[in-house]
């Protein structure tokens, strides 16, 4: 259905202003309640509107302003709305009611028990990708998928739809490997090791990664401390053609763009849905051109996947959906009960990676072993090593220095190798008594690293000095907090003082 025409009162438009308000990915505009356009069009607060500047259109949520900071003939834009519209201060823009979304009928049908079809989900994902669906309707979609769930056919249909509404990278290379970790484990930065190991063995592995959303660091955040990651598809192709692998931020590639929108709404709802998770992972792998995909499923009481039964169910769905899309998917259940490596935060995790690549004596052995296991499985999947021999090939590649050379070459091809930044403030947390470390709270240690400034401050975070089961002496260092400012450091320490211990020590005589 076409949008309503622009009224005579709206014909001359409103003067555009930048409000300087961060509304994340949700475009928002602000007008006076007594604005002539509001009166003429009947815009209520929180209505969705279409804003037009020349040939550019943006759908945004409208809020009313009662203060005098905005004129009656002006419209102010949140940061993301301003960027999307590409207007300049003072430009005249029109505001009108948006078209009625026919795709919303498919949501209503699902509520009444009708399964989603590919055609229905393709229609919904088209509207999601183009920003036509308000957050309240996106929330209803996420709730439907979590509550009523998606059966196998619906999961495959959703994955296909998410791929088809975005760009797809086609490679003329065989094999084409990729990996993914479900996440939830602080410091688990295996991708930065697996990619150079696999690429050094002659297997193409272009890796598009995410930035942190709720964690202290994402793969792209850690890699960014070592090399540029904001590469577009042509630059990504150049790096892969030259070095056989890359580690880039997926936000510049426009692959499965609907997924990025859905994730923004899923996070605050905190609703788990295997169907949405499977579609999220595999739509990006398929769109990025992968053919062999290894998926790491950490299992633990405070990980994203809490039980072996849940991991096995998720694994079956991933393999079945991958097969339907022409992907060879293999999953591996791993230990999700403890952090991996020592650093938690972009630069600190990057330092762990470099220590492993450089075969430093104090390199974290758990990060090394986990990466070798994953790289070995990929090498076996693609036929580079026979079953059971992949890990040994990965170990030789690392220990002979070929993985380090490949990683440096990838960094140089992406724009140049960097030295990770170092925080200007730090504080050592020590053991209150002699004893044995019998607990490290994954959620608390990630929260403390974030309060110290990670991931926005790339140098901030926490470094663990002990592992589960290790015996410690009184006042022995347990962890060190790193921050850029005294205020951030104090904020994290105050939080720790008010919580259960991040690192729990059982006194030896308890």
Give, rounded to a whole angstrom, the gap between the first and last alpha carbons of the chain.
72
Contact 285, 299 (CB under 8 A): no
- Rg from Cα positions in the chain: 25
Helix (H) or strand (E) holding 482, with range, is strand 477-483
Q: How far apart are alpha carbons 30 and 21 in whole angstroms?
A: 10
Q: How far apart are alpha carbons 121 and 74 in whole angstroms?
A: 38
Catalytic residue among 34, 151, 232, 272: 272
**By C-alpha distance, which of 185, 201, 182, 197 is closest to 368?**
197
Q: How far apart are alpha carbons 119 and 100 in whole angstroms?
A: 18
Phi, psi of 181 (to 5 degrees): -120, 135
Q: How far is CA 24 from the centre of its chain?
A: 14
- Tokens in use for 469? 């089961």
Strands (E), 124-262: 177-181, 205-209, 245-249
- Tokens in use for 293? 């995909």
In angstroms, the Cα distances linking 173 to 176, 301, 348 are 6, 40, 34
> Given phi > 0 = left and psi -120 to 50 = alpha, else beta, which region is 93?
beta
Alpha helices in 165-305 (DSSP H): 191-200, 219-224, 233-243, 257-269, 274-287
**By C-alpha distance, which of 95, 18, 8, 2 is closest to 49?**
95
Please confirm, yes or no, whether 68 is among the known catalytic residues. Answer: no
Contact 306, 270 (CB under 8 A): no
**Paired strand residues for 58:** 51
- Tokens in use for 30? 């602000």
In angstroms, the Cα distances linking 507 to 277, 435, 465, 483 are 41, 4, 18, 30
Task: Scan for tokens 């997924």, then name that residue.
Answer: 259
In angstroms, the Cα distances linking 10 to 13, 51, 53, 57, 256 are 5, 11, 13, 15, 36
Phi, psi of 460 (to 5 degrees): -85, 160
Pairing of strands 461-464, 343-344: antiparallel
Catalytic residue IDs: 272
């Amino acid at each position: 259905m076409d949008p309503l025409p622009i009224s005579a009162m709206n014909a001359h438009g409103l003067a555009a202003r930048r409000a300087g308000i961060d509304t994340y990915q949700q475009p928002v505009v602000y007008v006076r309640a007594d604005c002539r356009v509001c009166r003429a069009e009947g815009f209520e607060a929180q209505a969705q509107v279409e804003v037009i500047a020349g040939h550019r259109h943006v759908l945004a949520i409208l809020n009313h302003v009662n203060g005098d900071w905005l004129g009656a003939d002006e419209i102010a834009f949140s940061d993301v709305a301003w960027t999307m519209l590409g207007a300049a201060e003072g430009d005249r823009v029109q505001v009108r009611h948006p078209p009625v979304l026919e795709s919303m009928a498919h949501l209503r049908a699902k509520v009444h028990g009708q399964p989603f079809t590919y055609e229905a989900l393709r229609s919904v994902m088209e509207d999601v990708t183009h920003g036509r669906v308000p957050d309240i309707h996106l929330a209803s979609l996420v709730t439907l998928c979590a509550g009523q769930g998606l059966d196998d056919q619906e999961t495959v249909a959703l994955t296909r739809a998410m791929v088809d509404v975005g760009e797809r990278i086609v490679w003329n290379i065989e094999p084409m490997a990729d990996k993914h970790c479900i996440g939830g484990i602080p410091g688990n930065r295996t991708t930065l090791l697996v990619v150079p190991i696999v690429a050094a063995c002659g297997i193409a592995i272009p890796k598009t990664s995410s930035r942190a959303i709720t964690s202290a660091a994402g793969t792209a955040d850690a890699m960014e401390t070592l090399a540029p990651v904001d590469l577009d598809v042509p630059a990504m192709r150049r790096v892969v053609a030259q070095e056989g692998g890359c580690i880039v931020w997926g936000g510049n590639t426009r692959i499965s763009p609907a997924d990025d929108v859905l994730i923004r709404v899923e996070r605050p709802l905190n609703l788990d849905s295997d169907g949405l998770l499977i579609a999220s992972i595999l739509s990006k792998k398929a769109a990025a051109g992968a053919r062999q995909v290894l998926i790491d499923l950490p299992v633990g009481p405070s990980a994203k996947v809490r039980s072996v039964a849940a991991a096995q169910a998720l694994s079956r769905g991933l393999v079945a959906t991958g097969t339907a899309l022409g992907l060879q998917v293999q999953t591996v259940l791993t230990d999700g009960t403890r952090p991996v490596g020592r650093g938690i935060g972009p630069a600190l995790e990057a330092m762990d990676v470099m220590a492993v690549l450089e075969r430093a004596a104090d390199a974290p052995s758990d990060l090394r072993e986990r990466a070798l296991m994953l790289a070995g499985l990929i090498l076996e999947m693609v036929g580079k090593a026979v079953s059971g021999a992949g890990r040994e090939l990965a170990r030789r590649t690392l220990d002979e220095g070929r993985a380090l050379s490949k990683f440096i070459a990838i960094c140089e091809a992406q724009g140049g190798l960097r030295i990770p930044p170092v925080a200007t403030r730090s504080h050592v947390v020590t053991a209150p008594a002699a004893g044995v470390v019998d607990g490290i709270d994954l959620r608390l240690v990630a929260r403390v690293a974030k309060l110290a400034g990670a991931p926005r401050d790339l140098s901030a975070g926490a470094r663990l000095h002990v592992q589960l089961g290790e015996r410690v002496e009184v006042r022995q260092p347990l962890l060190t907090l790193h921050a850029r400012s005294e205020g951030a450091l104090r904020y994290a320490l105050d939080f720790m003082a008010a919580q259960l211990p991040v690192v729990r020590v059982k006194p030896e005589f308890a």
